[in-house]
C-alpha cells in the first residue's frame, strides 16, 4: 500500500509567484463580479498592487537567498537561487513598468486594445462595441498570468515545470498579441503566427525533454548534468534531446535562426504588449537558457561551443543588418531586439560568473529601454484629413521633425535609442561592457569582435531615427500629419522612470552591479 505524503509548501519562497498568479485569478473573478464601469480601475489597482507586492516579496527574500545561496523546493523542481530571484525581480519590476503603459488610455480616452476581442474586424458588432465604449479589461489578468509564468520559468529545476511555465507564459501572450485596437487583421495575423510557431517550439521543447528523460532517466536538470559526465563520445539521445530543448528556448529568446516570428509579432501586437514582451519574455527565456547552460552543459561545453557561438554570431549579424533596412519603427525595434539577443548570448556563452551577472544586468538595462521606447511609440499617432487621431505613426518618415514639436518625448526616445546603441553613460553601455568583459575573460574574444562591429553598424539605424526627429524638417511630408497624444499620466510615469533608470544605471551602476554579482551563482 502506497501512502501519499503531501509535499511541504514553502509559502514564503513562493510568495512572489503566488502573489502575481493569485492576483491573476482574482482578476478573472473581478471580470465576473464587478460592474463594468469599475472594472478597469479595480483591475488596474489589483495588477499594480500585485506586481509591486511581488517586487517587495522578492526584496524580502533576497537576504535569505544571499546568505544561504538559495533553496531547492519541491524536491528540486523549483529552485530559488540568486539568479532565479534576481530574474523574478527584474521580470516583475519590468512588468510593473509595462503595466503602466498598458493601462494608459491617453487623452483620447481609449486604450490600445480592441473593445471586444471576439468581434470580427470591420463588423457591425465591432462598431457597436466601440460605440458602447466596451473595454477589454481581461488584459490585466492575462498580463499577470504571463508574468507569473515568466517568473516560474527561470526558477524551474526540472524540465516538466519548465514546460508548464513556458506554456503559462506563452498562451496569454498569444492572446494579447491579437487584441490591438487598430489594424486588427495585422494583429490577429501576428497572434496566429506567434501561436503556430510557438506551438512548434513548445513541441520541440517537449520532445527534447522526453529524449533527455530517456537519456538520464530523470527530468531534473541536476540529474541530467550528472549523467552527462559519464558520456563518452556522441550519445544520440543526449544530443538530440539537448538540441531540441535549445530550439524551444532559443525560439523564446528570439535568436537566429528561430527569430522569424519576432518582427511580425512585434509589429502586429498592441504596442504596450510589444514592450512587455520585448522586456519580460526575453528576461525569462534568457534566464532559462542561463540555467540550462550553466547547470546542465558545463560538461559538454566543448561540444556545444561551436553551436552556441554560431547562434550568437548569426543573431548579432542578422538582427543588425536587417534592422538597417527597416522603414517601420516597430519592425526596426524588433530586429534590434534580435541583435540584442545576440549581445546577450555573448554573455551567456562566456561560461563564467561574470557572464551570469553581466547577462542579468543587460536584461534589466535592455528591458527598461525597450519598455520606454515602445511607450513612446504608443503616443506618436497619425491623423486623417479631418484631423482625427488614428493609430500609431509607425512609418519612420512620419517621425520627421518630432524633436521640434515634442522635444521632451523625442529627447526621451533619443535616450532610449542611445542606451540601445550602447553609448557611454547610459544603462545600455554598462550592460554591453559587462557582457563583453565576461566574454573576453571567458576566451570568447571573437564574439566580442563581432559584437563591436555589430554595435557600430547598429548605431547607424538608431542614429537615423535621431536624425529624423531632430534634424529633418517635417514641412511638406507625411510627417506633418503626425501628432503626439497626451498620456493620462501612466505612460508618462513609465517613460520618466525608464529615463531615470537608464541614466542612473549608466552613471552609477555600482549598487546594481554588486547585487547581480552577489547573485550570480546557480545551485544545481
Partner 1 sequence: MQASSGFPWLTALIVLPVIGAAALWALPAASRRLVRPIALGVSLAVLVLAAAMALQFDTAAAGTHQFSELVSWIPAFGVSYAVGVDGVGLLMVLLSVILVPVVVLAAWREQGQDLGRLRHYLALVLLLEAFMIAVFSARDVFLFYLLFEAMLIPVYFMIGGFGGAQRRYAAVKFLLYSLAGGLVMLAGVIALYVSGPGGKGGFLVDSLVGVHLPVTTERLIFLAFFLAFAIKAPMFPLHTWLPDAAQNAPAGTSVLLVGVLDKVGTFGMLTLCLPLFPNASRWAAPAIVVLAVISVIYGALLAISQQDIMRLIAYTSVSHFGFIVLGIFAFSSVSVEGSSFYMFNHGLSTGGLFLLAGMMARRHGGSQRISDFGGLQKVTPVLAGLFLVVGLSALALPGLSPFISEFMVLVGSYGRQAPAAVVATIGVVLAALYILITYQRAFTGPVRAELADAKDATYRERWVIGPLIALMLVLGFYPAPALDLVRDPAKSTIEQVGVQDSVPTVQGAAVTGSAPTTAASEGGAK
Positions touching partner 1 (CB under 8 A) are 357, 418, 421, 423-425, 429-430, 433-434, 436-437, 440-441, 445, 448-449, 452-453, 455-456, 459-460, 463-464, 467, 470-472, 509-510, 513-514, 517
DSSP string computed for 139-171: HHHHHHHHHHHHHHGGGB-BHHHHHHHHHHHHH
Q: Given the C-alpha cell 498592487, which residue does it identify?
A: 49
Measured between alpha carbons, how far apart are the two ends of the chain, in Å?
33
Close Cβ partners of 395 (under 8 Å, ≥ 6 residues apart)? 327, 328, 329, 478
Minimum separation from the CB atom of position 403 to partner 1 (A): 9
Close Cβ partners of 309 (under 8 Å, ≥ 6 residues apart)? 349, 444, 446, 447
Minimum separation from the CB atom of position 421 to partner 1 (A): 8
Say how far apart CA 230 and CA 509 lie, in whole Å. 42
Name the residue nearer to partner 1 (CB basis): 60 or 456. 456
Q: Given the C-alpha cell 556563452, which residue does it identify?
A: 349
382: helix, coil or strand? strand
Query: Do residues 331 and 396 touch, judged by C-beta distance below 8 A?
Result: no
Minimum separation from the CB atom of position 439 to partner 1 (A): 8
Cα–Cα distances in angstroms (integers) from residue 239 to residues 233, 243, 307, 382, in the given order: 10, 6, 12, 51
Minimum separation from the CB atom of position 467 to partner 1 (A): 5
Q: Which residues, listed in sequence order, are joined to residue 296 by a DSSP beta bridge?
A: none
Name the residue nearer to partner 1 (CB basis): 36 or 510. 510
Among 333, 228, 349, 203, smallest CA distance to 286 is for 349
Close Cβ partners of 520 (under 8 Å, ≥ 6 residues apart)? 82, 83, 353, 354, 356, 357, 360
Minimum separation from the CB atom of position 395 to partner 1 (A): 19
Minimum separation from the CB atom of position 365 to partner 1 (A): 14
Q: Which residues, listed in sequence order, are joined to residue 71 by a DSSP beta bridge?
A: 80
Minimum separation from the CB atom of position 470 to partner 1 (A): 6
Name the residue nearer to partner 1 (CB basis): 373 or 458. 458
Minimum separation from the CB atom of position 408 to partner 1 (A): 12
Query: Do residues 177 and 194 touch, judged by C-beta distance below 8 A?
Result: yes
Name the residue nearer to partner 1 (CB basis): 472 or 496. 472
Amino acid at each position: 500500500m502506497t501512502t501519499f505524503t503531501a509535499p511541504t509548501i514553502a509559502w514564503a519562497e513562493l510568495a512572489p509567484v503566488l502573489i502575481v498568479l493569485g492576483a491573476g485569478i482574482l482578476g478573472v473573478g473581478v471580470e465576473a463580479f464587478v460592474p463594468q464601469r469599475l472594472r478597469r480601475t479595480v483591475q488596474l489597482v489589483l495588477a499594480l498592487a500585485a506586481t509591486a507586492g511581488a517586487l517587495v516579496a522578492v526584496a524580502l527574500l533576497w537576504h535569505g537567498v544571499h546568505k544561504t545561496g538559495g533553496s531547492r523546493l519541491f524536491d528540486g523542481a523549483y529552485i530559488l537561487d540568486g539568479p532565479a530571484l534576481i530574474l523574478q525581480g527584474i521580470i516583475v519590476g519590468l512588468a510593473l513598468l509595462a503595466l503602466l503603459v498598458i493601462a494608459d488610455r491617453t487623452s483620447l480616452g481609449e486604450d490600445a486594445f480592441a473593445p471586444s476581442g471576439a468581434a470580427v474586424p470591420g463588423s457591425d458588432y465591432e462598431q457597436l462595441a466601440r460605440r458602447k465604449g466596451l473595454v477589454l479589461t481581461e488584459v490585466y489578468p492575462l498580463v499577470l498570468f504571463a508574468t507569473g509564468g515568466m517568473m516560474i520559468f527561470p526558477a524551474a529545476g526540472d524540465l516538466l515545470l519548465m514546460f508548464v511555465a513556458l506554456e503559462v507564459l506563452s498562451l496569454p501572450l498569444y492572446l494579447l498579441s491579437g487584441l490591438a485596437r487598430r489594424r486588427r487583421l495585422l494583429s490577429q495575423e501576428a497572434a496566429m503566427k506567434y501561436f503556430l510557431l510557438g506551438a512548434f517550439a513548445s513541441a520541440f521543447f517537449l520532445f527534447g525533454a522526453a529524449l533527455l528523460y530517456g537519456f538520464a532517466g530523470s527530468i531534473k536538470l541536476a540529474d541530467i548534468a550528472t549523467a552527462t559526465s559519464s558520456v563518452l563520445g556522441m550519445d544520440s539521445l543526449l544530443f538530440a534531446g539537448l538540441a531540441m530543448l535549445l530550439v524551444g528556448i532559443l525560439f523564446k529568446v528570439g535568436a537566429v535562426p528561430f527569430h522569424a516570428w519576432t518582427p511580425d509579432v512585434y509589429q502586429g501586437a498592441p504596442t504596450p504588449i510589444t514592450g512587455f514582451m520585448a522586456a519580460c519574455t526575453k528576461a525569462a527565456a534568457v534566464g532559462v537558457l542561463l540555467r540550462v547552460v550553466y547547470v546542465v552543459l558545463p560538461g559538454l561545453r566543448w561540444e556545444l561551443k561551436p553551436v552556441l557561438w554560431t547562434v550568437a554570431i548569426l543573431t548579432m549579424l542578422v538582427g543588425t543588418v536587417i534592422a538597417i533596412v527597416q522603414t517601420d519603427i516597430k519592425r526596426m525595434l524588433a530586429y534590434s531586439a534580435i541583435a540584442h539577443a545576440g549581445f546577450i548570448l555573448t554573455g551567456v556563452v562566456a561560461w563564467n560568473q561574470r557572464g551570469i551577472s553581466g547577462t542579468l544586468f543587460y536584461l534589466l538595462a535592455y528591458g527598461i529601454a525597450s519598455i520606454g521606447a515602445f511607450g513612446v511609440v504608443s503616443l506618436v499617432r497619425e491623423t486623417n484629413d479631418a484631423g482625427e487621431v488614428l493609430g500609431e505613426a509607425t512609418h519612420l518618415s512620419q517621425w520627421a521633425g518630432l524633436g521640434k514639436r515634442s522635444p521632451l518625448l523625442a529627447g526621451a526616445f533619443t535616450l532610449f535609442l542611445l542606451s540601445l546603441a550602447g553609448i557611454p553613460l547610459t544603462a545600455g553601455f554598462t550592460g554591453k561592457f559587462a557582457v563583453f568583459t565576461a566574454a573576453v575573460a571567458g576566451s570568447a574574444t571573437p564574439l566580442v569582435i563581432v559584437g563591436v562591429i555589430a554595435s557600430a553598424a547598429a548605431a547607424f539605424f538608431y542614429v537615423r531615427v535621431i536624425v529624423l526627429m531632430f534634424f529633418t524638417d517635417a514641412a511638406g511630408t507625411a510627417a506633418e500629419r503626425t501628432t503626439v497624444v497626451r498620456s493620462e499620466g501612466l505612460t508618462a510615469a513609465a517613460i520618466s522612470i525608464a529615463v531615470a533608470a537608464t541614466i542612473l544605471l549608466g552613471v552609477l551602476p555600482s549598487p546594481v552591479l554588486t547585487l547581480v554579482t552577489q547573485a550570480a551563482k546557480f545551485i544545481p
